[in-house]
Amino acid sequence: MIRQSIGIVAMAWIAASGPMLATSSKADDQAPTSISQTPATSQSPKTYATFDPAEHAGKVLYVDFWASWCGPCKQSFPFMKELETRFSKQGFEVIGINLDKDHAKAQKFLDQVLPNFPLVFDPDGKLAERYELKGMPTTLLFDRTGKLRQTRIGFKEGEGDEVIAQIESLLDEEAPHEATK
């Protein structure tokens, strides 16, 4: 059932994206993979079928739950784009998790904010439930081992320096493979 739901969400996203996506007949015959083969551009960001911090071991993750109806969510996108640009080469990744039930509304929002980071679509709210969201937007900060280190509810532009300092601190910690050397 979950795999079918993921497939439906993936198909809706592909249909909404139209000619922006390059597809192959081999990819069309397979079940959705955890990462699509869509290039990460401002018009068609990479998408993950779901989110599991273990799949990103070795990276510091800034995971943001958002929805098209959320004003502070829209305000947070320039900041997240800046974070992705600034830290991505240091083992850092922003992942946006959309909670809209109507994918067309999410796509309209994305067309306005043009993310440069991967996305997950969670219209059933399973990830939101797993992480016990209490408000929007909610940001989760994971260390390189996949351990949740911080949860932030809301977005305030004045807190950017504090968030950047936390990210830099996590990036300075040893990656799991470095600790065994």
- As a whole number of Å, the end-to-end CA separation of the chain is 43
Of 141, 144, 143, the residue nearest 152 (C-alpha): 141
The answer to whether residue 66 is domain-embedded is: yes
Contact 139, 151 (CB under 8 A): yes
Contact 155, 79 (CB under 8 A): yes
- Range of the structural domain that residue 134 is part of: 48-179
The answer to whether residue 171 is domain-embedded is: yes
The answer to whether residue 135 is domain-embedded is: yes
The structure tokens listed for 44 are 């068609």
Which SS3 state, helix, strand or coil, does residue 137 take? Answer: coil
**pTM, to two decimals:** 0.72
Q: How many domains does the chain have?
A: 1
Q: What is the mean pLDDT of each run of 10 residues along the chain (181 residues)?
A: 39 35 30 31 64 92 97 95 96 96 94 94 94 95 96 91 96 69 44
* CA dihedral sign of residues 30, 32, 34, 40: positive
The answer to whether residue 124 is domain-embedded is: yes
